[in-house]
Chains A and B, each alone.
Chain A
Amino acid sequence: MNEHVLREPGVLAIYAEVDAAAAAIERLRREGLKDVVVFTPVPRHELEHALHPPESPVRLFTLVGGLTGAATGFALTIYTSWDWPLITGGKPIVSLPPFVIIAFELTILFGALSTVLGLLINARLPRARLRVVYDPSFSVDRFGVFVAPPLAREEQARRIFRETGAVQIRERPEEIRVGTL
């Protein structure tokens, strides 16, 4: 392992209990250190309440995708029917009831795919940076709180982590490789 060790400026605290991590986030925010990154193996309400995140914009992607799908479904069926107007069974060229089925399926298809797109864009996935602040225990049972305050306030962050009972506090945590290409 001769690879150059990258270190991220900031402090990473590892917690064994979710309520302790939530308490730390709340104290950091109260004391003005709002730029925190939280790592958790499972989404927990305690952490979400401590963070007060704004509503995720993924729902807009779902809505726009779904509406695009419906419009595409009707446009495709109506346009192609007129492109070769052949009357079958005495039915109108534009027979809307069966076209609703196509439009419905495309609503779901486009809605689902754009939801995934919204997830990837908003969550910044897949990661372009391969080496990041992380610890493999975050996918098991540990909760992480990372904060990158100005140098003068690092001591303050460390104190909060100590007082809320972090199992481990890492200064300038080493970056770990989580992606492979």
Chain B
Amino acid sequence: MATVLRSETHPGIASYQEVNRDILKILGRPGRGYFLLLAFVLAVLGLGIFAWMVQIVLGIGMAGLRNPVGWGVYITNFVFWVGIAHSGTLISAILYLFRARWRQSIYRASEAMTVFAVMTAGLFPIIHLGRPWIFYYLLPYPNQRQLWPNFRSPLLWDVFAVGTYFTVSATFFYVGMIPDIAAARDATSVRWRKALYSVLSLGWRGTDREWKHFTRAYLYLAALATPLVLSVHSVVSWDFAVSIVPGWHTTIFAPYFVAGAIFSGLAMVITLLVPMRKVFRLEEYFTVHHFESMAKLILLTSFIVVYAYVTEYFMAWYSVEVPERFAFYNRAFGDYWWATWIMLTCNTVVPQLLWLKRVRTSIAALFVISIFINIGMWFERFVIIVTSLAAEYEPWQWGNYQPSWVEMSILAGSFAWFLMWFLLFMRVLPPVSVAELKEVLPAPLRFRRPAGERRP
């Protein structure tokens, strides 16, 4: 008789079989609620697409972008969504390298979030172009004009950073899923699913040869994704830091942006996992311990963000530069004071609640806090971008920015686009890793382990 041991991270899961049953059940036939939600999301996406079409036909003037504010909601959204992506890679790659024992059940959904968030972010520089149909001019390819892109421009670094990030995170996402797709293939009897999973699983059988190379490849992919994720938001921050705009031109931007990205991304993971846990009854999988661990990381990164805010203000004061000092005074007390105070409240005050264990272990409280952080981090990017551009060096050039309905519709559409992919993903591919979860469950054993040996 096999000895029954309980996992430390998932005490509620008794056997390997239970994992396959509970996770692959999600890939069943969705109910009416799912289709209603999907229809709503598609309707909002339709609004966004309509707004973009209006902008393409009537011109970029349909956006509220006017001199001097040439970057508005579009670039805010770009930075916001790239930031959201980051924590997925943190959970899937960095925590993997650190052997964190609370990543196994949540990493698949976070990684999916990464891929879809980068897909959303990547749209915005293109939407922001006056002539989006020639976006491919950004790519270095031999052409009749005999022109090459300017590799000294931060905007081109972005093309490489975000392009690489999307390719690598999508690859990492897919490769990690192959054994689970094979498990789904073995479990399903629905014809289209069987065909899809058979192709996507590449004929995976879980042989020793396959696992040996798989585990190595996974390790190296994680090792490559880790410096990549740190580089991507650094490169995004250099879009700002390299220019000589007051409020942007600081060396702290790269670490500040990376910390902010992980901060906002973890909040988004919580926002997505809480409803998923409830609807699919995954309480044994996404345990309170998982949420508490994420809450602790949020608390940590919120302090890095607070530190960056303080440093920015200190450096502005310490520099004795009039435009720099004014830029920060203007942020807090100028025309956009409300945006700044929303950002400060959401990102510095609200996360302090996470000091309390009662809050950290309350799923409902975490859900509410995560939404505040999402809002706060969106406004952080809005504040950085808009307030700095609205009041640069010369007062006669100052001017304010009002987002138009086109921009707001595209903002709503971007959330719909992201959620559409996430909703489709949840029902088509295993949203929780089946194989990796078994790594933190005790293996079925015939004989008891000798005393003193570490429990699985």
Which residues of A does B touch, CB under 8 Å?
16-20, 37-44, 46-48, 51, 53, 56, 58-59, 62, 66, 76-77, 80-81, 83-84, 88-89, 91, 95, 98-99, 101-102, 104-106, 108-109, 111-113, 115-116, 118-120, 122-127, 129-130, 132, 134, 136-141, 165, 178-181
* Cα-based distance from A165 to B175 in the complex (angstroms): 34
* Cα-based distance from A127 to B150 in the complex (angstroms): 43
* Cα-based distance from A8 to B48 in the complex (angstroms): 57
CB atoms of B221 and A112 under 8 A apart: yes
* Cα-based distance from A101 to B159 in the complex (angstroms): 11
* Cα-based distance from A48 to B215 in the complex (angstroms): 12
* Cα-based distance from A118 to B207 in the complex (angstroms): 17
Which residues of B does A touch, CB under 8 Å?
2, 15-17, 20, 140, 146-152, 156-157, 160-161, 163-164, 167-168, 171-172, 175, 178-179, 182-183, 185-187, 194-195, 198-199, 201-217, 220-221, 224-225, 227-228, 231, 235, 434-436, 438-439, 443-447
Residue of chain B at shortest CB distance from A95: B152
| Chain A residues positioned under 8 Å from B194 (CB to CB) | 180
* Cα-based distance from A77 to B160 in the complex (angstroms): 12
| Chain B residues positioned under 8 Å from A119 (CB to CB) | 175, 213-214, 216-217
A42-B439, A98-B157 known, 14 other contacts, Cβ within 8 Å: A48-B208, A80-B149, A101-B160, A102-B156, A105-B161, A108-B231, A116-B221, A123-B214, A125-B202, A125-B204, A136-B186, A139-B187, A140-B186, A180-B199
Q: Give the residue among B152, B213, B447 with the most A Cβ atoms within 10 A.
A: B213
| Chain A residues positioned under 8 Å from B213 (CB to CB) | 56, 58, 118-119, 122-123
CB atoms of B183 and A101 under 8 A apart: no
Can you list 10 A-B contacts with CB-CB less than 8 angstroms, sorted by A residue number? A43-B211, A43-B215, A111-B224, A112-B168, A116-B175, A119-B217, A127-B203, A139-B179, A141-B444, A181-B199
CB atoms of B206 and A39 under 8 A apart: yes
CB < 8 Å neighbour of A115 from B152, B221, B434:
B221
| Chain A residues positioned under 8 Å from B156 (CB to CB) | 102
* Cα-based distance from A39 to B204 in the complex (angstroms): 10
Residue of chain A at shortest CB distance from B150: A88
* Cα-based distance from A43 to B444 in the complex (angstroms): 13
Indicate whether A58 sits within 8 Å of B203 (C-beta atoms), given known contacts A105-B231, A109-B164, A140-B183: no
B142: shortest Cβ distance to chain A, in Å? 10
| Chain A residues positioned under 8 Å from B195 (CB to CB) | 180
B168: shortest Cβ distance to chain A, in Å? 5
| Chain B residues positioned under 8 Å from A109 (CB to CB) | 163-164, 167-168
| Chain B residues positioned under 8 Å from A102 (CB to CB) | 151, 156-157, 160
CB atoms of A112 and B172 under 8 A apart: yes
List the 6 shortest-distance A-B pairs measured between CB atoms, nearest first: A127-B203, A141-B16, A180-B198, A80-B148, A126-B202, A136-B186
CB atoms of A58 and B217 under 8 A apart: yes
B330: shortest Cβ distance to chain A, in Å? 28
| Chain B residues positioned under 8 Å from A42 (CB to CB) | 16, 435-436, 438-439, 443
B13: shortest Cβ distance to chain A, in Å? 12
* Cα-based distance from A116 to B216 in the complex (angstroms): 10
Residue of chain A at shortest CB distance from B168: A112
Indicate whether A116 sits within 8 Å of B435 (C-beta atoms), given known contacts A17-B445, A180-B198: no
| Chain A residues positioned under 8 Å from B215 (CB to CB) | 43
* Cα-based distance from A139 to B187 in the complex (angstroms): 9
CB atoms of B203 and A178 under 8 A apart: yes
CB atoms of A113 and B157 under 8 A apart: no
| Chain A residues positioned under 8 Å from B147 (CB to CB) | 84
Residue of chain A at shortest CB distance from B2: A17
B172: shortest Cβ distance to chain A, in Å? 7
CB atoms of A58 and B198 under 8 A apart: no
| Chain A residues positioned under 8 Å from B202 (CB to CB) | 120, 125-127, 179
* Cα-based distance from A105 to B230 in the complex (angstroms): 11
* Cα-based distance from A130 to B148 in the complex (angstroms): 46
CB < 8 Å neighbour of A53 from B167, B182, B212, B439:
B212
CB < 8 Å neighbour of A179 from B160, B167, B203:
B203
CB atoms of B205 and A84 under 8 A apart: no
CB atoms of A108 and B164 under 8 A apart: yes
Residue of chain A at shortest CB distance from B444: A17
Indicate whether A98 sits within 8 Å of B435 (C-beta atoms), given known contacts A44-B443, A84-B146, A132-B205: no
Residue of chain A at shortest CB distance from B151: A77
| Chain B residues positioned under 8 Å from A95 (CB to CB) | 152
B320: shortest Cβ distance to chain A, in Å? 27
* Cα-based distance from A110 to B314 in the complex (angstroms): 41
CB atoms of B186 and A139 under 8 A apart: yes
CB < 8 Å neighbour of B220 from A16, A115, A123, A134:
A115
CB atoms of A59 and B216 under 8 A apart: yes
